[in-house]
Amino acid sequence: MAALIGLLASIPFLKGIPEGGDTFLHFYRLVQLDTLVGQGIIFSRWAPDLAYGYGYPIFNYYAPFSYYLAEFLHLLGLDLISAFLATFIVAFVGAAVFTYLWIRDLFGDIAGLVAAAMYTLSPYLMIDALQRGALAEHLALSLLPLILYAFRRLIVLGGWTYALIATLSYACLLLTHNITALIFTPILLAYILVISWQSKKQSASVWSGTMRSALPCLGFLILAIGITAFFWIPALFERELVQIIQSYGPIAFDFKTNFQNLAASLAPPFIWDPNLINRNVPIALSLFGLFLAFIGTVGTFRFYQWGDQRANVIFAAAVSLLSVFMTASLSEVVWNVLPLIAFVQFPWRFLGMATLFVALLAGAGADSLLRLTRPWPRLQTAIPAVLVGLVILYILPWQFADYSTTPPEATISASIAYEREFGTIGTTSTGEYLPVNVKQLPSPDPLIESAISRQLIEESLPSAAIIKEAIFKPLEYRLTVDSPEAFLAEFNTFFFEGWRAYIDGHLTSVRFSEPDGLIEVEVPAGEHQLLVQFESTTIRDIAKTLSFISLAALIIALIVWGKRPYRSPGYEALTPNSPTIPELGLIFIVLVSIFAGKWLFLDDNDSAIRRSR
C-alpha cells in the first residue's frame, strides 16, 4: 500500500515533463553522462560537452548518484526522457516505502501508512519535484527515512544486514545531494545518540551503555564517509579551482535574502492559476500534518510509558521546531557562525527536514486516534482511509504543474543550445564550476556541437604546419604535427587541474589563454606527437585510495562485527496492529478515487482549487 501511495503521488510525471526551474538542467547533465558512458567512460569528473562545449568539471563537485540511477534505468531499456522521469517516480515510491518501514516500527502499520502519505504527499516534496525539478535533492529526501530506519534497527536489533543498509544508504545520500547531506548529518548524529541512550537507559551505567551502542553506528557512519571520499574530498578541497563563490555570492543565492517568516512556512492551500507566469507556490508545512502532529505528541504521552515512542516524538518535535526556526531571519546569527552553511543558499530547505519529522508525529497522531476510537469499531475502521484521504485532498493544489509542450532532445547539441538560450553555463545557474582562469567566455561562434570541435584551434597553427594525424576523444587529444617553427597550440577546452600535455611521450607544461582560460601547449619546431589528456591529481588519488581502504574496512567490519541479531534491553516490541481487509480496502478506494478524479477532471477544468482570475 505504501508503494501505491508513492506511485499515485508521482502521477504528474506520467502526464509529461513538468517544467520545473531546474528540470532541464538535470536532464542535460544526464545526457552528458549517457554520452560518456556510451563511449566507455564510467566516471569522469570532467564533462567535456558542457559549458558551451568547452568542458566543465561538474561531476568533481556536484553529487552524481541521481544521474547514475537514471542512466541505469536507461540501460534497462527506457529511453532517456522516460528514464529521467522514472527516477522521480522511484524517489516518490522510495520516500513512501522507507517512511512506512521507519514509522511502522514505532507506531504500527496504520501509522506507517499515514506517515508515508504525509511525507510523500507533502508541499515540500511536491514543490521539489514539480516546481523546482530538483532531481538530486528529491532523491536525497527519499533516502532520509531509510537511513533513520536502518540506524535505529542497527541500534536496537543489531546484525550485519542493518549495518550494511545503514552504511550504503548514508553513502548514497553523500553521493546524491551535497546540501541535503550537510543539513541532515547533524540530525542523524543526534538521532543515533538519542536512540542509543533510550535503548540502554535500563543499564546499570547509562552513559557507558549509550556509548557502546552508539559507537558501532558512528563507526559505520565514518566508513560511509570514507567510501565516498573519492567524491567529497576533491569537492571540498578543490573549491579554489573553480568560481564556487558564484553559488552563494549573488544576492539571489545569498541566505540573508532568502529567509521566510512563520506565516510563509505555515501557508494554507492556494488556488492554482494555470495562466500565471510567475506563480507563487508556497513552500510550507502541511497544516493538516501539524494538526495530526499535535494529536500525536499529546497522545504519545497519554498512551505510552516512557520509552522508544516518547523518545522519538520528543526528538521529532525538537527537530521540527528547530528546522522552522532555521528558515526565519531570527536564525541569521546561527547561519553566520556555522561552517559551510552558506552553500545551503535557501533557509527554506530546512522545511524538508521539518516535513520528515512532522510525518513521524502525524503517524503518532494516527495511532492515537485509533486508540481513542477502540470503543467504536466501525469508526476505527474508517479512520485510516479518512486520514489518508485528507492528506491527499490537502496537497492537491501543489500537485498541479506546467508541462513542456515539446520534449527535449537528448543530444549534446540540444544541451549546448539550451545553455546558450537561458545562460545556464554548464547546466548551472551561475557558472559556479567554471575554472578560475576563465575570466571571459569565448565567442559563442561557431556553435560547438560535438567532439570534433574540441580539436586544435586552426588559427593557432603556423601557416606551413601540417597535421598528419588527429584523434579527439572526450578526455584525450592525440595529434601528430609537423611545423617548421615553434608555436603555441590552443584547444577549444577550458584548462582545469588534471589536464596534462606530453610531447613525444615527455611531460610538458600546460598553460591557459587570457582571458578565456583555454588550454595552451608550447610545441617546438619539427614533427612531434602531442598528447593532451585529463588525468587525476594528488588529492584525487588520495581520496580514491581512502575510498578503497574504507570499502575493505567495511567488508571486514561486517564479517567481524556481524554477530547474531539481538534485542536491546531497552527495546520495546510493538504489539502488531496490521490493518484489516476492510481498512486496506477503504484506503485503496480513497486513494484511487481522489487521484482518478484529479487526473480526469481537476487537471483540466476550473474548480475550487484550480482557476484563472
Quick one: pLDDT band at residue 213, thresholds 50, 70, 90? confident
Is the pLDDT higher at 199 or at 596?
596
- Give percent of the chain above pLDDT 90: 51
Dihedral pair phi/psi, residue 91, rounded to 5°: -65, -40
Element (H, E) at 476: strand 476-483
384 CB contacts (<8 Å, ≥6 apart)? 110, 113, 114, 366, 370, 579, 583, 586, 587
DSSP 441: P
State the residue for C-alpha cell 553555463.
425
Place of cell 527495546: 571
Whole-angstrom distance, CA of residue 47 vs CA of residue 496: 11
Q: Does the pLDDT value for residue 450 go beyond 60? A: no
Placement of cell 544486514 in the chain: 161
Confidence band of 470 (pLDDT split at 50, 70, 90): confident
The predicted pLDDT at position 567 comes to: 54
Over the chain, what is the mean pLDDT? 87
* Cα–Cα distance, 308 to 313 (Å, whole number): 9
Nearest in space to 362 (alpha carbons), one of 391, 322, 333:
391
Predicted model pTM:
0.91
Q: How far is CA 450 from CA 328, 357, 513, in A?
A: 47, 47, 22
Running DSSP on this structure, what letter comes out for residue 578? Answer: P
How many CB atoms are closer than 10 A to CB 306? 11
Identify the top-confidence range among 165-169, 302-306, 553-557: 165-169
For residue 40, what pLDDT is reported?
92
Confidence bin at 467 (pLDDT 50/70/90): confident
pLDDT tens track for 591-607: 788 877 877 787 788 88
Q: Report which of 233, 177, 96, 94 is spatially closest to residue 349, judged by C-alpha positions.
A: 177
Number of H helices, E strands in the chain: 20, 8
C-alpha torsion 559→560→563→567, nearest 10: -110
Q: Which sign, positive or negative, has the C-alpha torsion 560, 562, 567, 568?
A: positive
Report residue 451's pLDDT band, with 50, 70 and 90 as the boundaries: very low
Return d(Cα 316, Cα 121) in angstroms, integer: 19
The number of CA neighbours under 13 Å toward the Cβ of 149 is 24
User: Which of 255, 289, 252 is closest to 123 using CA atoms?
Assistant: 289
Q: Which amino acid is residue 414, in one-letter code? A: A
Instruction: Find the mean pLDDT for residues 570-589.
Output: 66
Strand pairing class (499-503; 518-523): unpaired
Distances (CA, A) of 377 to 350, 366, 401, 450, 581: 39, 15, 40, 68, 14
Q: What is the structure's pLDDT at 536?
A: 93
Place of cell 496504520: 110
d(CA 309, CA 300): 7
Confidence band of 187 (pLDDT split at 50, 70, 90): very high
Integer Cα distance of 50 and 64 in angstroms: 15
Query: What pLDDT sits at residue 81?
Result: 94
Instruction: Answer whether 456's CB lies under 8 Å from 491's CB.
Output: yes
Least confident of 123-132, 200-209, 235-244: 200-209
Q: What is the pLDDT of residue 75?
A: 95
Q: Residue 369: CB partners within 8 Å, gap ≥ 6?
A: 295, 299, 383, 387
Give the sheet arrangement for strand 487-494, strand by strand: 487-494, 518-523, 511-512
pLDDT per residue as tens digits for the range 38-79:
999 999 999 999 988 899 999 999 999 999 999 999 999 999
Q: Is 501 left (phi over 0), alpha (psi -120 to 50) or beta?
A: beta
Q: C-alpha cell of 423?
A: 545562460
Q: Evaluate if residue 203 carries a pLDDT over 60.
A: no
Which residues touch 477 (CB under 8 Å, ≥6 apart)?
454, 455, 456, 470, 471, 491, 530, 531, 532, 533
Q: Which residues contact 597 (CB under 8 A, 6 or more apart)?
A: none
CA gap 598, 604 in Å, rounded:
9
| pLDDT of 454 strictly over 70 | no
What is d(CA 2, CA 13) in angstroms, rounded to the nearest whole number?
18
- Condensed to tens digits (0 to 9), the pLDDT of residues 476-514 reads 999 898 888 888 988 989 999 999 999 999 999 999 988
d(C-alpha 357, C-alpha 351), whole Å:
10
pLDDT above 80 (res 242)? yes
**What's residue 572's pLDDT?**
53
Q: Scan for cell 521507519, then name that residue.
A: 102
Q: What pLDDT does 225 receive?
A: 96
Strands of the sheet with 466-473, listed across from one edge: 466-473, 476-483, 526-534, 499-503, 506-508
Going by the DSSP 8-state scheme, the letter that residue 599 receives in this structure is: I
Q: What residues does 499 pair with on adjacent strands? A: 534
Q: What separation in angstroms does the CA of 262 have from each of 265, 317, 326, 348, 397?
A: 5, 16, 11, 11, 20
Query: pLDDT at position 565, please?
Result: 54
Residue pLDDT, tens place only, 246-292: 888 888 888 889 899 999 999 999 888 888 888 888 999 999 999 99
d(CA 521, CA 508): 8
